[in-house]
Structures are given as C-alpha cells and as structure tokens.
C-alpha cells in the first residue's frame, strides 16, 4: 500500500504541536508514504519510509467575514447562501492553487494507492487523486467546525460523500456527520499523546493555571480571560500562562488590558515541546475554553502530566474528563471560573484527578492510535490484506 498524506502543517520550530496526528500515523504505519505539506523551518525528522514533499506558501484561514455564515447556525437561504458558497469556493481555489498543482505533480510521480486529506479544506486534492490516479480516499476530520460548515455549505455536503472512509477523532464528530454521510463510511479514531515525552514528574505545583492552543476564535480565549478575572478576584496570587500564538494575538492582548489582567497573564508564545511539558508540570490546573474541538491533543498532554483539567463541552472529551477534571458549558465564563475554583479548593478531588490522568492518557498512546487507523486503511484493500492479516505488531514495535 502506497499512502499519500496531504496536510497543511508539519510539527516544526514554528508550530511544535501542529500536525502531530498525521506525523505520528506516518511514523508508526509501516507503508511507503508521501507526505505533502507546507514548507517551514526546523521540521521534525521523518521516518525512513516517509518521503517529504514541501512547498513554501501562505496557508490562509477562513476570512473573518465568512465565519458566521460558514460555522454559525444555518439560517441563511436563497441568494445569500449561494453567495456564501461562491465566496468560499473562490477563497479555497485562490488561496492554494500553486500548492494544489504541486501536490498533483508529486502524486502523479508517486502513484498512491491511498490518499488521506487532513481536513475539508484539502478534500478537493483527494477527490482529484481518486479520479486521476484511481486511489482510495480517506478524509480525516479533527474539529466540529467542519461539521458546522457541512450544515451551511451544500457544496461541501456533495463533496463529502465522495471519500471511501471518513476518520473522525471523536464519537461526537461522527454523530454530527450522520446527516451527511452513510454510517458505514465513518470510523472513530482519536488523537494521541507521546507518553515518553509527556509524563508526571510529581513536582510541587506553582500557583498558576495554564492553557495551550493556537490564538483562534474557536479556542474561546475571550471566555477564558473573563473566567480568569473572576478566579483572580478570589485568588489574587494566581497567574494564567497561555502557550501559543496566532492570528487573534492582538485581540487577546487588548482583552487582557481591558480586563486589567496584564499583571496576571503571561503570553509565552510558541515554545518547544519540552517547555510545554515543564509548564504543564508546573501548573495547578489546565484550562480549555474552546467553542469547537474534536478531541484536544493538549488535553491529553496535560492529563498525562498529571495536571487536572477544566474544559468546556465544546471539547468533546466527556470520556476523558470524567476521571481527570471538570466540564462546563461553552461560552459560560462564570461556570468556567466556578469549576476552576472548585478544583483549587477540593484538594482530595484534585489529587484523584491528578493520579487518574496518566492512566487515562495511556489509552491514547500514538502506537495504539496508529494500529487502529491502519486497520481502517486495510479495509479498503481486501484483495491485499486479508481479514486476519492486521499486522498490528508492526505498528506497535516501531
């Protein structure tokens, strides 16, 4: 099986936590792989069976003006909805036409049996490969923003029926896909965690909260900062450490200043994975105020370090948080603050959540995730891989 992965980002100095799911899947699935992605400095080394093809281009995000129509409640109709479809299609084509042609040339040379697209934004790459090279196609979805987009964009609803399988990182995303895709095409996997890197060092914790994530609107930083203000009113000696960066940095800084939190909030920016581990081990509570997630990798990394978590229901991590922290409704700063205070005050609960974290995280070891996804890939090639030939040991032994 020759696998091609088309991904928008590769783990690098610029984004140490970006693109870890396809990176680890490529690492632990022992098949010849072409990995097509954006060129950045300081990328992680690839395994010997992985060929890296990169092109320098600017990967643009969805324009702010289009977000309410694409990701919000489906209220638009008629001409307004048609106009949104046209603008979104024009944005997709114009923003990456050079990369699209580059990817097609590399795939023509590689002749993949299976193409895996990392998001709806790259789905047209896989569709082209499916018909040009007669490859099987898998779409990988990691966020509920993508199912929200399907509710609003009829063009995407047509295209999403084309892949042979759709792999999602949580049951909730799979449930949200059911109106658009046949149930037999959907496979639930997960994101994962490197348990050799993210460990609980059992050190004394500082009086600080921590969050890790890109500075994007869907991460809910406005609600997090408002919750932090309420917490600091009761615990003025605590701080909030924010690890990450992105397009919303300016707005986040303005909001920090408006709330008078300059002395209480530290923006650490992009840091190494080692420093992320250090910060998680230093912190009392991990907080995530996201409006939309699939299954947050940062949450798995936090609990692997023994850091109890307070998250929103937008994170789709009910099975994880049940033993490792507390969950509150998204867009509710008061509930978020109340849960943080509860964990700070209930020492027994905090200790239990901290102890449970590493054991829960072990269910999401990257090798196990890769083995599960590898089974899905081989389903598509029954003439090559018999039902009993799962080769799971090959994934787990690397």
Domains annotated for the chain, with CATH where assigned, are: 3-192+365-396 (3.40.50.2000), 208-363 (3.40.50.2000)
Least confident of 51-65, 115-129, 169-183, 266-280: 51-65
Please indicate whether residue 16 or residue 156 has the higher confidence score (pLDDT). 156
Output the pLDDT for position 172. Answer: 84
pLDDT at residue 57 above 90? no
Give the end-to-end CA distance of the chain in Å, rounded to a whole number: 18
- Give the whole-number percent of the chain exceeding pLDDT 90: 61
Kindly state the average pLDDT of the residues 152-171. 88
Q: In this structure, what DSSP letter does residue 367 have? A: H
Query: Predicted confidence band at 94 (pLDDT cuts at 50, 70, 90)?
Result: low
Instruction: Please give the pLDDT value at position 63.
Output: 52
pLDDT band at 390 (very low <50, low <70, confident <90, very high): very low
Q: Which residues pair with 212 in a beta bridge?
A: 243
What beta strand segments (E) does 143-193 contain?
165-168, 186-188
Instruction: Say what the pTM is.
Output: 0.78
| 94 vs 160, more confident | 160
Q: What is the reported pLDDT for 391?
A: 43
Q: Identify the band that residue 84 occupies on the pLDDT scale cut at 50, 70 and 90.
A: low
**Exposure string for 274-306, b = 16+ CB within 10 A, e = fewer:** eebbebbbbbbbbbbbbbbbbbbbbbbbbbbbb
| Confidence check: pLDDT of 216 > 90 | no
Task: Please state, in angstroms and as integers, the Cα–Cα distance from residue 235 to each residue in 184, 212, 334, 349, 383, following that order.
Answer: 51, 21, 15, 19, 63
């Amino acid at each position: 099986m020759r696998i091609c992965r088309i991904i928008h980002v590769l783990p690098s100095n610029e984004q140490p936590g970006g693109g870890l799911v396809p990176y680890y899947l490529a690492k632990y699935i022992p098949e010849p792989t072409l990995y097509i992605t954006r060129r950045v400095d300081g990328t992680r080394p690839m395994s010997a069976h992985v060929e890296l093809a990169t092109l320098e281009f600017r990967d643009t995000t969805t324009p702010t003006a289009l977000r309410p129509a694409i990701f919000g409640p489906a209220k638009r109709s008629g001409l307004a909805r048609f106009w949104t479809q046209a603008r979104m299609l024009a944005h997709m084509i114009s923003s990456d036409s050079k990369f699209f042609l580059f990817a097609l040339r590399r795939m023509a040379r590689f002749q993949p049996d299976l193409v895996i697209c990392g998001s709806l934004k790259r789905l047209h790459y896989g569709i082209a490969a499916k018909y040009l090279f007669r490859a099987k196609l898998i779409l990988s979805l990691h966020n509920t923003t993508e199912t929200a987009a399907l509710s609003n964009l009829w063009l995407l609803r047509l295209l999403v029926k084309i892949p042979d399988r759709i792999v999602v990182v949580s049951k909730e995303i799979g449930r949200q896909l059911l109106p658009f895709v046949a149930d037999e095409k959907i496979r639930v996997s997960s994101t994962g965690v490197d348990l050799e890197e993210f460990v609980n060092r059992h050190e004394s914790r500082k009086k600080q909260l921590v969050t890790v994530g890109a500075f994007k609107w869907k991460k809910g930083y406005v609600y997090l900062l408002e919750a932090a203000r309420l917490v600091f009113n009761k615990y003025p000696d605590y701080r909030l450490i924010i690890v990450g960066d992105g397009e919303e940095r300016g707005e986040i800084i303005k909001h920090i200043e408006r709330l008078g939190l300059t002395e209480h909030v530290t923006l650490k920016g992009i840091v190494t994975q080692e420093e992320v581990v250090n910060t998680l081990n230093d912190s009392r509570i991990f907080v995530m105020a996201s409006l939309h997630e699939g299954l947050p990798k940062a949450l798995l990394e936090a609990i692997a370090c023994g850091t109890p978590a307070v998250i929103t229901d937008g994170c789709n991590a009910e099975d994880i948080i049940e033993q490792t922290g507390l969950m509150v409704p998204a867009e509710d700063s008061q509930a978020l603050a109340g849960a943080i205070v509860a964990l700070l005050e209930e020492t027994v609960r905090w200790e239990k959540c901290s102890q449970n974290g590493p054991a829960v995280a072990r269910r999401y070891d990257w090798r196990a995730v890769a083995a599960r996804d590898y089974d899905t890939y081989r389903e598509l090639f029954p003439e090559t891989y018999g039902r009993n030939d799962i080769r799971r040991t090959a994934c787990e032994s690397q």
